[in-house]
């Protein structure tokens, strides 16, 4: 889930190693060689897990709006987080969490399923094919050509637009924003429900400001506690009801993916947008973390970038058969980097910490929508960080970026925001005679955007 690397600046450097890690671990991960210790790597893994574990609850909450059972989505979330983080640690040997990402789940649920009317099985098929294409790009190492083709302003704008869209969804789920015949949207009724959400939102923001590890999950827990009296002391809707502590995992969504059904021409723009979003999100995350923690190779590039991108690609491809939206790298991995984590052992620790939650779906289903809503709002805030990097003085760059940002929440579609951003960029360059600034990939992107608009009618 893209946020920003600036919050990692000024963090303490890793502890000077006082004792060597066990020989086998040291040989495999290079713990001592990276200037770390087994204890430091373990604590860094715990910090990363606490920063990103909110996805265990939030992702099923979003996917359940698409029709995937909450417990099945939770099992899929835990499984893919375990498998992909383990692969990141053992194969790519980077201290990075990989899990179903915010933005990708919103694209899946609110654009493909609720917006375009795809069944969630077909939407999972689109996730699968975007993962296949991602894997091909990663294996053939063509990332540089694609990076150069898409203007930087649009890459930043897409992250910001998705952030606004996620915030809007959080406010809507909480009932803070409701439909209005007069003004399209309006403030919801100020009652106990809204008061609980707002208190939870402010408390979560305070946890983030105070830089608590696991601030978002702390906010979710506190808001859940505040919601317990609802339906009991006031109101007529019980928000939190006990249904048990543990249960066997729900694998009812496994292999429900419709791979062939997703190959219709009309769905190609959706597949492309998923590919584009996941690819650049992964790349930007790797670059941000490598700069923050000096995780670079001898050429100054992010360490093991090709292997890391390959893990991310295959994680996206495997996510669909498991029953969840695409997995991606988490910038919350910076929490572990700030604790001194420098090797793949961090990701292995994170993977192992996810596994017990495979059996806790009854306990986690206690969490109501208003408890996950503050996390959605703040994730949106984090994703707005790149907005300052857009050159607003260059109107030919600013206008397409602005359209992409504003149209995502206003059209309730990530895809439409990206499409109008691409098309406006190409049209402006054509009208001003700057054809040399349009790279081949942008021509393809604009053509796919036009196709999307035609098929969406």
In this structure, are strands 184-187 and 177-180 parallel, antiparallel, or unpaired?
A: antiparallel
10 Å CB burial of residue 11 (0-12, 13-18, 19+) is middle
Q: Give Cα separations from 294 to 11, 109, 225, 231, 333 (angstroms).
A: 12, 36, 40, 51, 14
Region 339-359: mean pLDDT is: 90
- What tens digit of pLDDT does each residue of 393-423 get? 999 999 999 999 999 899 887 778 888 998 9
Residue 150 clears pLDDT 50, i.e. is over it: yes
Q: Give Cα separations from 11 to 66, 342, 450 (angstroms).
A: 39, 14, 45
Q: Where does the pLDDT of residue 146 fall: very low under 50, low under 70, confident under 90, or very high at 90 and above? A: low
Beta bridge partners of 329: 98
Range scoring the smallest mean pLDDT among 39-43, 130-134, 220-224 = 39-43
Tell me the average pLDDT of the chain.
84
Q: Where does the pLDDT of residue 352 fall: very low under 50, low under 70, confident under 90, or very high at 90 and above? A: very high
Region 167-176: mean pLDDT is: 89
Which is higher by pLDDT, 52 or 323?
323
Name the nearest CA neighbour of 281 among 100, 444, 402: 100
The whole-angstrom separation of Cα 413 and Cα 392 is: 24
> pTM, whole model, 2 decimals?
0.77
Most confident of 23-27, 161-165, 233-237: 161-165
CA 236 to mean position of chain CA atoms: 34
H/E run at residue 105: helix 104-106
Residue 319 clears pLDDT 60, i.e. is over it: yes
Lookup: tokens for 28 = 């495999």
Residues of the chain above pLDDT 90, percent: 34
User: What is the DSSP code (8-state) at residue 233?
Assistant: T
Question: What pLDDT sits at residue 202?
Answer: 96
10 Å CB burial of residue 457 (0-12, 13-18, 19+) is exposed
Residue 20 clears pLDDT 60, i.e. is over it: no
8 Å CB contact between 137 and 279: yes
Domain residue limits, the chain: 6-245+256-382+392-456
Residue 246 clears pLDDT 60, i.e. is over it: yes
Residue whose token pair is 């077909």: 122
8 Å CB contact between 271 and 262: yes
Secondary structure class of 151 (helix, strand, coil): coil
- What tens digit of pLDDT does each residue of 57-109 get? 999 999 999 999 999 999 999 999 999 999 999 998 889 999 998 888 988 99
Question: What pLDDT sits at residue 455?
Answer: 60
């Amino acid at each position: 889930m893209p946020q920003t690397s600036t919050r990692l600046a000024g963090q303490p450097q890793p502890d000077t190693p006082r004792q060597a890690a066990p020989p086998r671990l040291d040989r495999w991960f290079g713990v001592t060689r990276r200037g770390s210790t087994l204890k430091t790597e373990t604590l860094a893994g715990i910090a990363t897990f606490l920063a990103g574990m909110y996805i265990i609850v939030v992702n099923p909450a979003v996917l359940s709006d698409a029709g995937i059972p909450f417990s099945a989505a939770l099992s899929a979330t835990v499984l893919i987080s375990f498998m992909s983080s383990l692969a990141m640690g053992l194969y790519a040997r980077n201290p990075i969490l990989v899990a179903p990402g915010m933005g990708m789940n919103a694209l899946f649920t609110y654009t493909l399923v609720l917006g375009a009317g795809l069944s969630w099985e077909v939407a999972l098929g689109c996730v699968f094919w975007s993962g296949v294409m991602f894997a091909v790009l990663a294996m053939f190492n063509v990332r540089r050509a694609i990076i150069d083709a898409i203007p930087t302003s649009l890459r930043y704008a897409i992250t910001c637009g998705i952030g606004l869209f996620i915030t809007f969804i959080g406010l809507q789920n909480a009932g803070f924003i409701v439909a209005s015949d007069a003004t399209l949207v309006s403030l919801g009724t100020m009652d106990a429900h809204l008061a609980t959400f707002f208190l939870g939102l402010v408390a979560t923001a305070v946890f983030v400001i105070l830089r608590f590890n696991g601030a978002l999950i702390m906010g979710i827990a506190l808001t859940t506690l505040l919601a317990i009296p609802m339906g009991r002391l006031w109101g007529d809707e019980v928000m939190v009801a006990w249904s048990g502590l543990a249960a066997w995992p729900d694998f009812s969504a496994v292999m429900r993916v419709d791979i062939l059904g997703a190959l219709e021409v009309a769905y190609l723009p959706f597949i492309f947008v998923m590919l584009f979003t996941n690819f650049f999100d992964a790349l930007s995350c790797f670059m941000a973390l490598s700069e923050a923690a000096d995780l670079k190779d001898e050429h100054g590039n992010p360490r093991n970038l090709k292997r890391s991108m390959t893990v991310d690609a295959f994680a996206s491809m495997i996510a669909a058969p498991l029953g969840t939206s695409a997995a991606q790298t988490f910038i919350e991995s910076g929490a572990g980097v700030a604790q001194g984590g420098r090797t793949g052992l961090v990701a292995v620790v994170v993977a192992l910490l996810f596994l017990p939650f495979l059996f806790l779906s009854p306990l986690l289903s206690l969490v109501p929508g208003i408890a996950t809503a503050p996390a959605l709002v703040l994730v949106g805030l984090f994703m707005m960080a790149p907005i300052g990097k857009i050159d607003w003085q260059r109107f030919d760059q600013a206008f397409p970026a602005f359209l992409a940002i504003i149209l995502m929440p206003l059209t309730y579609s990530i895809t439409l925001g990206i499409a109008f951003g691409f098309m406006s960029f190409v049209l402006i360059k054509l009208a001003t005679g700057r054809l040399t600034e349009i790279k081949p990939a942008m021509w393809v992107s604009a053509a796919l955007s036009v196709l999307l608009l035609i098929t969406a009618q």
